[in-house]
Chain A
C-alpha cells in the first residue's frame, strides 16, 4: 500500500478551548508543518527523522485525523487512491486500525490501564470485522505468539507488564488486522537499548512478513539504519533532506541531518563503550 503526501501544511491555532480562542489575537497561529511532501511506496520501509519539536509526530497524526479539530490541516495525502485530508471523522476511523496500524512511543500512556491487554488487541477486529468471540480470541492468541508473548498474556493488565512487553502488545494491536501500512511513532524511545533492538527486529520481521509498508518516525538515526531503506529529515516543520538511509548516514548534506547523524554516532559509540 502506498501513501503519498503532497504540500501538507499543519497549523495550530492559539489556546485550546473555544471561548479563549476568540480572544487569542495575542497567540498567533503556529505553523507546525510547512509544505511537506513525502511518499511511502508499496512494501517500502521509510524513515522520518528529526529532532524533538520538528513536527514529525504531527505529520502522521494529522493526516490520519488523530489531532483535535483546533488543528488546521491542508494539502493532500493519498492512501492507495483515497484522499485523506478533508475526510469525515467516520471515514478516517474506518481506515484507522484496518488499512493503517499505529504504534506509539509510550505504551504506558496509550494502552488502556483498566482493560486486559487481550481485549485491547482485539479492539481493531471488533471495530472493523464481524467475527465470533472464539475467532477473535484465536487471532489474539496467534498474534501474541507472533510478537513473542505467550497467549496467557491476554488476561494481563498493562501495569503488570514490562516496558518491552507493553510495546509488544502495542505492536500486536497495530498488526492484528494485517494492515498494509504501519505508522510507528518513536516506538523504541521509551525502551532501554537492548529492548530497542529486539523491538526493531520484531517490527521489521513482522512488517516484511505481512507485505506491509512502514513509516518509521524517530529522532535516532542509529535505529533508522536497521529499519528504513529510505529516509526523510524534518526540521522546523520542513523536509530538509531525503535519500537512501545508508547514504544519509554516510554523508548528510543538511545541517540538521549532520547533527542527527553525529548524535547517533556518539550514542552508538557510547553504547559500545558501556558494554
Chain B
C-alpha cells in the first residue's frame, strides 16, 4: 500500500510538471506576442515594451518558465495586470463559492443516484425498472443551463411557480451568514446534483446489474437475505471501489455544468473569474489559475485512486501497475 502511494505521488508530480509545460506552451508560444495581446489592439509600442519589461516577457522561454514555477512553488501566483489584485487571494475568495457548490452537488448526486440505482437494480423485472431507466436517461441528457433554467422557472423567487429559493447572486458577506449563503446555493446545487445524480444512478444500476446474478449475491441470499437486501448490502459493498472511482471522475465531469450554473445564477465563483480573465486575455493570471485548478483535479484523482485501493482489500498488496482485478470484477 505504502509503495503504491509513493509511486502514485511520484506520478502525480510528473503529471504536474507535464501539465505546467502544456499550460505554459499553450499560453506563451501559441498566441504570438503576449504583451501586445494583453496591452490591447490600439496600444503604443512603448506601452507594449513597458509591459514586456514589467512581466519579464522579454526573457527566454525557459527563464520565464522557471521564474513562473519558482513563484508558484512559493505560493506566489502574481497579481493581475488589469486589476492589480493578488491572484491567489482572488482565486481563494472565488473558490469559497465554487467548492461548496461542487461538494453540495456531488453529495446530492450520491444521495439521489445510489439509492435509485439500487432500487432500479433490485426491481429488474417490472415497470419501475423501465420508468427509472427513462427518467435517468432523460435527466442525464439535460444541458446544465436548461436544467438550471427550468428549476428557476419552478422554484425561483419572483419568477417561478413556487418561488421559494433565490435564483440570483450570493450574499455580499459570503459565508459569514451561512444560512443565506446555503440557501442561495440550493437551486444551483440541485441543478448540478440532479443531472450528475442521473448519471450516478445509471452507473450504480449497471454495476449492480453486473453482479446481480453472481455467486456473491446467491451467497448473501443463502445467509438469509432477500434478493433486494442482498443487492443493497453485499452488492453495494462489492461495487463500492468502482463507485468511488466513478465519483472521482464525475467530480471532473461536473465542472462544466458547475461553471455554467454559476454564471446562470450570477454566483461570484471561479467561473466568472476564469471567463472574464480568458476574455480579457489576462494571460499571466489565467496561466496561474488554470495551473492551480489542474493541480486540484489531479489531487482529486490521486485521492480517488487511493480510496479505491483502501476499499478493495484485493488491491492493497498489489503493485501500482496492476489494476486488472478491478476490471475483471466490473466486466
- Chain A–chain B contact at Cβ < 8 A: yes
Report whether A104 and B224 are in contact in the complex, using a CB–CB cutoff of 8 Å.
Answer: no
Q: Does A227 count as interface, using CB distance less than 8 angstroms?
A: no
Chain B 27-68 against A: per-residue CB contact (8 Å), 1 yes, 0 no? 000000000000000000000000000000000000000000
Report whether B125 and A123 are in contact in the complex, using a CB–CB cutoff of 8 Å.
Answer: no
Report whether A89 and B227 are in contact in the complex, using a CB–CB cutoff of 8 Å.
Answer: yes
Considering the chains assembled together, what is the distance between the CA atoms of A4 and B105 in angstroms?
A: 56
Report whether B215 and A104 are in contact in the complex, using a CB–CB cutoff of 8 Å.
Answer: yes
Report whether A96 and B237 are in contact in the complex, using a CB–CB cutoff of 8 Å.
Answer: no
Question: Which label, helix, strand, loop or mixed, suits the secondary structure of the B interface?
Answer: helix
Report whether A112 and B234 are in contact in the complex, using a CB–CB cutoff of 8 Å.
Answer: yes
Partner of A112, one of B125, B219, B227, B229: B219
Q: Does A253 count as interface, using CB distance less than 8 angstroms?
A: no
Report whether A89 and B226 are in contact in the complex, using a CB–CB cutoff of 8 Å.
Answer: yes
Q: Which residue of B lies closest to A157 (CB)?
A: B313
- What's the minimum C-beta distance from A29 to chain B, rounded to whole angstroms? 16
Report whether A109 and B224 are in contact in the complex, using a CB–CB cutoff of 8 Å.
Answer: no
Considering the chains assembled together, what is the distance between the CA atoms of A93 and B221 in angstroms?
A: 7
| A1-28 interface (Cβ within 8 A of B) | 17-19
Interface stretch, picked from A62-70, A134-142, A262-270, is A62-70
A68 in contact with B213 given A96-B221, A114-B241, A114-B314 (CB within 8 Å): yes
Please, which residues of chain B bring their CB within 8 A of the CB of A128? 224
Considering the chains assembled together, what is the distance between the CA atoms of A246 and B216 in angstroms?
A: 36
Please, which residues of chain A bring their CB within 8 A of the CB of B314? 113-114, 157, 159
Report whether B216 and A110 are in contact in the complex, using a CB–CB cutoff of 8 Å.
Answer: yes
**How many of chain B's residues have a CB under 8 angstroms from any CB in A?**
31
Q: Which residue of A lies closest to B240 (CB)?
A: A114
| A36-76 interface (Cβ within 8 A of B) | 61, 64-66, 68-70
Report whether B223 and A97 are in contact in the complex, using a CB–CB cutoff of 8 Å.
Answer: yes
Please, which residues of chain A bring their CB within 8 A of the CB of B222? 64, 66, 96-97, 101-102, 104, 173-174
Report whether B225 and A127 are in contact in the complex, using a CB–CB cutoff of 8 Å.
Answer: yes
Q: Does A193 count as interface, using CB distance less than 8 angstroms?
A: no
Considering the chains assembled together, what is the distance between the CA atoms of A113 and B126 in angstroms?
A: 30
Q: Does A237 count as interface, using CB distance less than 8 angstroms?
A: no
Q: Does B214 count as interface, using CB distance less than 8 angstroms?
A: yes
Considering the chains assembled together, what is the distance between the CA atoms of A92 and B225 in angstroms?
A: 9
A115 in contact with B237 given A90-B226, A93-B221 (CB within 8 Å): yes
Considering the chains assembled together, what is the distance between the CA atoms of A128 and B238 in angstroms?
A: 22
Report whether B224 and A123 are in contact in the complex, using a CB–CB cutoff of 8 Å.
Answer: yes
15 intermolecular pairs with C-beta atoms under 8 Å apart: A17-B124, A19-B130, A92-B226, A93-B224, A93-B226, A96-B222, A104-B215, A109-B214, A110-B219, A111-B216, A112-B238, A114-B312, A123-B224, A124-B223, A174-B222
Residues of chain A touching chain B, judged by Cβ–Cβ distance below 8 Å, are 17-19, 61, 64-66, 68-70, 89-90, 92-94, 96-98, 101-102, 104, 106, 109-115, 120, 123-124, 127-128, 157, 159, 173-174
Add 11 more A-B contacts to A104-B219, A112-B216, A114-B237 (CB < 8 A): A61-B218, A93-B229, A94-B224, A96-B224, A97-B224, A114-B240, A114-B314, A128-B224, A157-B314, A173-B219, A173-B223
